Chain A
Amino acid sequence: MSAGDRFGWRLSRAALAEATAVIQALHPLEPDLAAISELLHGAIPIHTFAPDPVSSAWRGLYLSIYTLPRRILLVGSIDDAPELADVGNDTTDLLIVETDVPVVSTSEFLPTGAQWRSLTEFGSDLNTEDRVRLAIALVSGLQPAAVLVMGSRAGWEMLARHGRALCNSTALFAAIAGSPDLSAASLLQKYLRKCIYVLTELYGPSERAIRRIAELFALTEDEYDKLRALRDWRDDQGFLTWPGKGK
């Protein structure tokens, strides 16, 4: 919401008169109303839904998407994620969204035909919280079958805040990778414990790295079972083929 006065929105006299009438009639019964009756003519702020940078960015992002993606990959910086070249031919119904960087990636190594967007394309002044809100709106609004968070701080934050709700309709995946402003280790420290229970699979760079992470975070057997090497993302239960056969 925005402060209306800055944009010239005004409350009509008739609406103000309506509120005044209610307050005059009911304030003897309602101590909460008595307290505001003196403020009513001018001292109460007016909020409106004037366009702001985040809602404008959301509008641009949403309207730029022409087909419903079955899978969304949230990546901090496309140019810092060479693993994305390995998406290969699995680009059907896949939308790659770059979430964290203030400069749009060149995306040279993405396979031909891969659909991608960068949040920065839709708002040059977006802050970290704005980017989290956009990631949440995208995933909760489009309800894809699967989401993969790869080196995306906005994506991890989305998982931490709303993973419990999102996993009702979307299989949630994450990959161990650094974001533009946090190392992979820092992201894991910050988010792994909060998020592991909502993840379907967590991809690591290698079996050795996976074992190390399991030890470091004292993962339970069930949690350890969710760890895979990134090359497994094309397996039957993996992100790139989700929902897989028989689902």
Chain B
Amino acid sequence: MTDITVVLNVHREGALARGSLLSIAGARQTAERSNITVEVLAVADCSDRATLATVVDCPGVQVLETTVDDLGLARNVGVAAAKGQYIAFLDGDDLWGPRWLLAAYEAAMAEPRAVVWHPEASLYFGQKQTPYWLIHPDIETIEGDWVTLGMRNQWTSLSFALRDTYLQVPYRRTDLAAGFGLEDWAWNSDVVARGYLHKPVPGTAHLVRVRATSLVQRSKAANALMTPSTLLRSRIGWATRVGSVGVAVPNASV
């Protein structure tokens, strides 16, 4: 069985996808040196010719074309086709550090509980973006407490987890016209409602490009709410049920 399937989601990034593919190649090389097997799927959703040409020309990358016209659903397409035990997502204009796949895999193998893994930090950059670091919190600490998912999203969508996780909790369609967006926030909440933890992998970093046309930016521009999640409804009265107002969360078994 393949250990990790990389799902690269592309839309109309054109040549920007080349950087993402190169960063995947670097992370793949590091993982394979430790005998971890990696396959790479590029899911091209309603992509233009320039983007398709970029991914098709890349050796060792399997290209899946789809017309779901939705980033979250395109991630589901990748998960459905994946052969790997684990999935690692990357969007077509973002970048991984070279140790990401190896470090995330090792962290996942050492953790018996059901966890979605994130980098220690993401560096946001872009042509019109003043760069900044965002440190991703551990859900088992006060700054990563699941209750605050009601106010803010604390993790990106470039996560690493068992394929079964994404099968159990698939992404839902983003309906910007109805005022809903922020698919990563909704998914991060949904997966917590199923008992998963979100944890950072120490010593890892992603580089996240900020563009006006990204789904996050379009969601912000549309003043969208998070797509509704069951998390806060299902956990009402949590403090009385578990006898604590601490940040502990239930242990879901894999």
Chain A 29-56 residues near chain B, CB threshold 8 A: 29-33, 35-36, 39, 44-51, 54-55
Contacts A49-B152, A59-B145, A162-B223: A11 and B121 contacting too (C-beta < 8 A)?
Answer: yes
Closest residue on chain A to residue B97 by CB atoms: A18
Binds B, one of A106-114, A137-145, A199-207, A235-243: A137-145
Which segment, of B61-69, B81-89, B237-245, faces chain A?
B237-245
A58:B225 contact, CB within 8 angstroms:
no
Q: How far is the CA of A23 from the CA of B226 in the complex (A)?
A: 32
What's the A-B contact tally at a CB cutoff of 8 Å?
164
Most buried by A among B26, B123, B126, B143: B123
Residue B109 at the A interface, CB < 8 A? no
Contact call A65/B154, Cβ cutoff below 8 A: no
In the assembled complex, the Cα of A122 lies from the Cα of B147 at a distance in Å of: 14
Residues of A within 8 A of B148 (CB): 49, 55, 58-59
Are B240 and A143 in contact, with the CB atoms below 8 A? no
Is A165 a contact of B178 with CB atoms below 8 Å?
yes
Asked if B131 contacts A44 (CB within 8 A), the reply is yes
Residues of A17-32 whose CB lies within 8 A of B: 18-19, 21-23, 25-26, 29-32
Q: Which label, helix, strand, loop or mixed, suits the secondary structure of the B interface?
A: mixed
B209 to A: closest C-beta gap in Å: 7
Interface status of A4 (Cβ within 8 A of chain B): yes
B204 within 8 A of A: yes
Q: Kindly list chain B residues whose C-beta atoms are within 8 Å of the C-beta of A141.
A: 150, 231-233
The smallest C-beta distance from B172 to any residue of chain A, in angstroms, reads 13
| Cα of A45 to Cα of B134 in the assembled complex, Å | 9
B98 at the interface (CB under 8 A from A): yes
Contacts A47-B132, A47-B135 known; A29 to B143 CB distance under 8 Å? Answer: no
Chain B contacts for A143, CB-based, 8 A: 228, 233
Q: Which of B209-254 contact A (CB under 8 A)?
A: 209, 223-226, 228, 231-233, 236-240, 245
Contact of A65 among B98, B127, B236 (CB under 8 A): B236
A39-B131 in contact given A18-B97, A29-B18, A58-B150 (Cβ < 8 Å): yes
With A12-B202, A15-B205, A140-B226 known as contacts, the answer to whether A165 contacts B179 (CB < 8 A) is yes
Contacts of A191 in B (CB 8 A): none
Chain B residues with CB under 8 Å of A65's CB are 236-237
Contact B98 A46, beta carbon cutoff 8 Å:
no
Residues of A within 8 Å of B99, CB to CB, are: 14, 18
A169 to B228, CA, bound (A): 9
**Could you tell me the distance between the alpha carbons of A68 and B236 in the complex, rounded to whole angstroms?**
6
Q: Give the residue name and chain of the B residue nearest to A50 (CB).
A: B143
- List A residues at the B interface (Cβ < 8 Å): 1, 4, 9, 11-12, 14-16, 18-19, 21-23, 25-26, 29-33, 35-36, 39, 44-51, 54-55, 58-59, 62-63, 65-68, 133, 136-137, 140-143, 161-162, 164-166, 168-169
Q: A59-B147, A166-B225 are in contact. List 7 more A-B contacts (CB 8 A).
A: A19-B207, A47-B132, A48-B143, A49-B144, A68-B237, A133-B151, A141-B231
Would you list the 5 A-B pairs with minimal beta carbon distance, nearest first?
Answer: A18-B97, A165-B179, A14-B203, A141-B232, A18-B205
> Can you list 24 A-B contacts (CB < 8 A)?
A11-B133, A12-B120, A14-B120, A15-B120, A18-B100, A18-B204, A22-B97, A23-B207, A25-B26, A26-B95, A30-B19, A32-B127, A44-B133, A49-B144, A55-B148, A65-B236, A65-B237, A66-B237, A67-B236, A68-B236, A133-B151, A142-B236, A162-B179, A165-B225
